Amino acid sequence: MLQLVIATVLFFVMMFGIGFILNMLLKTTFFPIYLFLIVLVPVFIWQTWDNSKTFSGNFTSFTFVDILPGIGALIGAYISGTTIRLLRRGGYKMF
């Protein structure tokens, strides 16, 4: 259980940092969320795919432990976009 909490916080902080840097460099707001949904989620599904199971069997084999760090990463990407947006509204032109 402790490993799950540490992994979720680690993924949150990692996606927040990567998202913040991408948003700052590319002058976008929610690019990391799109990147997460278009690239990382399919890669995770492809990595854990088992050809011996049926299509629905592959998706039902994901557990809470598999999904929670991904949700933490998605929340980190969203909060990085929200932080950038608030900094831009606050007048910081660097962001």
- DSSP string across 4-19: HHHHHHHHHHHHHHHH
- Judged against a pLDDT cut of 80, whether residue 94 lies above it is answered with no
pTM of the entire structure? 0.82
pLDDT score recorded for residue 30: 82
pLDDT score recorded for residue 95: 61
Answer yes or no: are the C-beta atoms of 30 and 91 closer than 8 Å. no
How many whole angstroms separate alpha carbon 39 and alpha carbon 17? 17
The per-residue pLDDT of the chain, averaged, comes to 87
pLDDT score recorded for residue 59: 77
As to burial, measured by CB atoms within 10 angstroms (0-12 exposed, 13-18 middle, 19+ buried), residue 69 is buried
Give the angle subtended at the CA of 6 by the CAs of 72 and 39, to the nearest 5°. 40
What does residue 3 show for φ and ψ, rounded to 5 degrees? -65, -35
Pair of tokens at residue 32: 């990391």
pLDDT in tens, 35-72: 888 888 888 888 778 888 887 877 788 788 888 998 99
How many whole angstroms separate alpha carbon 51 and alpha carbon 72? 28
